[in-house]
Structure 1
Amino acid sequence: MEPEEVFVNELVHDLESGHLQLPTLPEVALRVREVVDDENANAGQIAEIIGQDAALSARLLQVANSPLYRGRQEIDRLSMVIARLGNKLVRNLVTSQVMKQMFQATTDMVDQRLRAVWEHSVQVAAIARALAGQAPAVDPDQAMLAGLLHDIGTLPILYRAEERAELLETPGLLDHLIETLHTRIGGAILQHWKFPDALVAVAAEHENLERDHPGPADLVDVVQVANLQSHLDTDHRLGQADWSRIPAFHQLGLDADLHEIELTDVAEEIDAVQQLFEPA
């Protein structure tokens, strides 16, 4: 059996048996999600949880005053952040802002890979938020979170690479594992976190280029197209995909015969989203 098959079988077995180490969502994000999902919760409870994390509190104030969300009055209190943005958007922004903590490793090579995945995810998040304007059924901020989460399945594979030198030393092996398994693992992670089915579907289905469905464009369509745009003209296997054969473009009303999506009109929005995830 080839090394690739050995490691694929090993990871699949661990995933199915519940022995694969899945990343844990930082506690503050879990607690905020639990409170927001409780119909009896109030803004004060959310602010109290966030307020226990000084860095996150400061970051959310920056986000609320950023070009994407600012109003006429500058915000200087968490209660005002929640009043302006609403519970559900704050929940998603908390999740988005704490996610970067998970993209860290103890070895330089794996750390570089994790940083690259994070940077790609931020770019996809920014494009997805802009593309949501083409999909009336898709909330732009949910699309942004979905873009950040779409490759979450790469994390356990890269964590495993820290423990198994062969995964780094065998040319192409790590890429093969990620290509083969990251969508399946990603869906499992978001199910484990009890995220909505629509986000689970993004992690599990965003590279299924034959995916088609009745009805309006959905979250998977938006992230799939954003992901393809991000990979365009790169060495990634999706960089040369034939867009004319991909139903998601039709769902979004985009001309699949174009070589790339025209994003000039939303360039400022894309830049503003990317700035949300730059170091404070």
Structure 2
Amino acid sequence: MTDLAERIQDELIQAIERDQLVLPTLPEVALRIREAAEDPDVSIGELARVISTDTALSARLIKVVNSPLLRSRQEITDLQMAVNRLGVVYTANLATGLAMAQLFQATTDIIDQRMRAVWARSTEVAGISHVLCKHYTRLKSDQATLAGLVHLIGVLPILSYAEENSELLQDSVTLDLIIERIHPLIGDRILAAWEFPQPLRRIPSEHLDFQRQPESVDYADIVQVAMLQSIAGTEHPFAQLDWSQIPSFARLGLNPASDQEEEDLSAEMEAAMALLG
């Protein structure tokens, strides 16, 4: 590790420990949606009215509900029908995830490209997570989708820091090293600050623990397998691991040595990724 990488990593870790690191906040519309959804007495109409304040988000929700992933016999033509079809909790989780796209933007071209690349990776893993959850577990696919969308959230403050520090902008190798080392720690902090559900709060760190042993399959397992499947066939170091020795595949009931299962679901996974991206 270079002196520059070590120094900046230490600065960021100290800022985290002192609560001095500026963490991203959820977009305003996502905060209002989550607040409304937490009200046990909220009606479908009230939640739809909150979401309707963001026209682009409303349109995307209707598009998702009418997609092959969720489509019912009746075409959904308005937001209230969409919320009624999905239910309050599912709608809130999906809307939160879709609204997060607003966070992955920057003012400099270099960092903006990186932000968009991180969001693209996140939506890819989220799409695969949705399909894996639906077909191989009894967990909630909306939670799995959201887990996939936030698994790299800790990269955001590091890229924002780099945007303010020209030495990092000019040294992509050092920046990548810092991101790899500390984004899981920062990600866990962000999800705790956002008061995410407990099963999702440690997704940024837990999805990288390849020998973890939970009592039963969980969302970190789903995201871990989805992340690995997304890099299959690449030069990524994780793609070179012996996946047969990674317990999360067995907990999902998947054989990592067989491509057939993934091929069977590939069209559905691609549809999910396209919708979220």
TM-score above 0.5: yes
Map of 1:1-280 to 2, 5 A cutoff?
2-133=3-134, 135-214=136-215, 216-256=216-256, 258=257, 262-278=261-277
User: What is the deviation of 1:51?
Assistant: 1.3
Whether contact under 8 Å (2:187, 2:204) holds in the other structure is yes
Alignment partners' CA distance in 2, 1:16 and 1:184: 10
Tell me how large the CA RMSD over aligned residues is: 1.7
Aligned length: 276
Structure 2: gaps spanning 5 or more residues? none
Tell me the distance in 1 between the aligned counterparts of 2:235 and 2:220: 23
Offset of residue 245 of structure 1: 2.3
Contact kept in structure 2, 1:125 and 1:143, CA below 8 Å: yes
- Per-residue CA deviations over 1:178-201 (Å, capped at 9, x if unaligned) read 111111111111111000111112
CA distance 1:261–1:132, shift in 2 (3 Å): farther
Hey, what's the Cα distance between the residues in 2 that align with 1:66 and 1:165? 43
Deviates most, 192-201 or 258-267: 258-267
Q: Does the Cα contact within 8 Å between 1:229 and 1:260 map onto a contact in 2?
A: no
1:143 counterpart letter in structure 2: A
Whether contact under 8 Å (1:126, 1:147) holds in the other structure is yes
Rounded to whole Å, the distance in 2 between the matches of 1:65 and 1:16 is 45
> Which one-letter code corresponds to 1:29 in the other structure?
A
| TM-score where L is the length of structure 1 | 0.93
Question: What is the deviation of 1:207?
Answer: 0.7
What CA distance in whole angstroms lies between the structure 1 residues aligned with 2:97 and 2:9?
29
1:93-142 C-alpha deviation (Å, 9 max, x unpaired): 11121111111111111111111111111111111112114543421221
| C-alpha contact 2:124 2:230 (8 A) present in aligned 1 | yes
Relative to structure 2, which stretch is displaced further, 179-188 or 258-267? 258-267
After superposition, the Cα gap between the structure-2 partners of 1:160 and 1:238, relative to the gap in structure 1 and judged at 3 Å, is same
CA contact (8 A) 1:105 1:111 kept: yes
